[in-house]
Structure 1
């Protein structure tokens, strides 16, 4: 997130459906953000009774909005975030920074639209530690699997970034988001070298990873 110490006004939009633990930071966030909007369709999240007075004051001062969507359909909370991001963009000063808390990558489109309107914005995702560990294990497994594929296809390797990404996605049968993570790890470990849009490969590192 942007540094709260730079005195830029910040807006926080929370997708409570997939980031319910964000409520634990609500009191702290009220000190750091000009306005907070929490969107949800169905939620069993709870708050301490000691918070009721301060949260009620924040609501009365229009600093905190709790938006329950009228329907509980798929992505209902996402549409709420989209709506209020646009509303707040029109209402607040141009230097306002938008932070969207959600694990839903579809909301990256909202971030891109805000940026296209000369605003600054970011999406921040959170995963439980157990899920993070499982995700890391999956990524390591897919990285090894793709290095085995590269080792077996020395003459049929993708030569450009886009074709490599598509190859990772289709060959490993994974989502593009995971494919990008595999690609980033290939770059980070210098297994592949990106020059412009062209790709070259380090055969020794491919063989070493494939042998794991």
Structure 2
């Protein structure tokens, strides 16, 4: 069967390299435009000239520039060709990002022709992608499906079968599957040629490897964080225990000092030496210096020129 390509080059721009490639893939190419496409080099024009001369590449410039002008041109050509060929002799492929061209494809199908619309237009709107990303961990789903693909000898060969595969393997709805297709394209894991998925195994393996490294790094970081948290908690607990013991010690010292200090000011030790003598009655002699330092640090006493000032907390009233 002969393959005929109807190309709307205005909303689906192509380079001369791509056009040369199509010339080897299709029997006839009909290129329609209203505004002259930019980006063509003279070398490209020279290379395409033989195909134009032979009639393999037919170029139609619309007489007027206007909205959907090229689409109407393609529709006109599709109608002409449908009367020139038998449905059993040709296959039509329409390249356009304008989904209104689906009507042309449907009409060709009604006329018993095989016809497909090839489009680079996203399967879902950016808004739907955003909504689904906010509800579902799509990165995890992409990773799961990539793991599935790497093990498969036979993979989906059409867009529809790819969407169905995503739905079946990942147990997701149609709109989620379409978003995943777009993300697979964005990550360059899959490229589409003539509406058929082309799996990029090198990119696929690199993607999985990178994700595994990221996961291991995250796990290591989490382990380190857990250890650090545990250590911090242990340190805090130790500090808390020390603080508790210190409070207990101060409380015991206060209780022992109160009977001697809860008296009229004149009877309290006025100088450091006499206070140290008093401390010997409350704690073992070898602990006097340590206890004195603790009382000063806790602001229960202060010493100025060896004269002592007491905190009211030591009086017990």
TM-score by length of 2: 0.40
Q: Does 1:126 align with 2:120?
A: yes
**Corresponding position of 1:106:** 100
Alpha-carbon distance in 2 for matches of 1:58, 1:83:
22
Q: 2:111 is matched with which residue: 98, 117, 134? A: 117
- Per-residue deviation at 1:24? 3.7
Residues 82 and 142 (structure 1), Cα distance of their counterparts in 2 relative to 1, 3 Å cut: same
Alpha-carbon distance in 2 for matches of 1:62, 1:91:
15
Alpha-carbon distance in 2 for matches of 1:63, 1:101:
17
Alpha-carbon distance in 1 for matches of 2:18, 2:173:
40
Residues 64 and 119 (structure 1), Cα distance of their counterparts in 2 relative to 1, 3 Å cut: same
| 1:113-150 alpha-carbon deviations (Å, 9 max, x no partner) | 000011000111125xxxx6xx6753332336799xxx
Q: Does 1:37 align with 2:30?
A: yes
Q: Does 1:139 align with 2:128?
A: yes
Contact residue 37 and residue 64 of structure 1 kept, 8 A: yes
Alpha-carbon distance in 2 for matches of 1:86, 1:10:
16
Q: How does 1:147-162 map to 2 (within 5 A)?
A: none
Residues 110 and 23 (structure 1), Cα distance of their counterparts in 2 relative to 1, 3 Å cut: farther
Q: Structure 1 unaligned runs (5+)?
A: 1-7, 148-183, 194-212
Contact residue 16 and residue 22 of structure 1 kept, 8 A: no
Q: How does 1:6-25 map to 2 (within 5 A)?
A: 8-21=1-14, 23-25=16-18
TM-score by length of 1: 0.58
Higher relative contact order (CA 8 A, sep 6+): 1
SS of aligned partner of 2:40: coil
- Give 1 or 2 for the bigger CA radius of gyration: 2
Q: What is the number of residues matched between the two proteins?
A: 144
Alpha-carbon distance in 2 for matches of 1:88, 1:37:
11
SS of aligned partner of 2:30: strand
RMSD of equivalent CA atoms:
3.0
- Per-residue deviation at 1:97? 0.6
| 1:16-58 alpha-carbon deviations (Å, 9 max, x no partner) | 1111135441001111111111111113423232333342221
Q: Does 1:86 align with 2:86?
A: no
SS of aligned partner of 2:38: coil
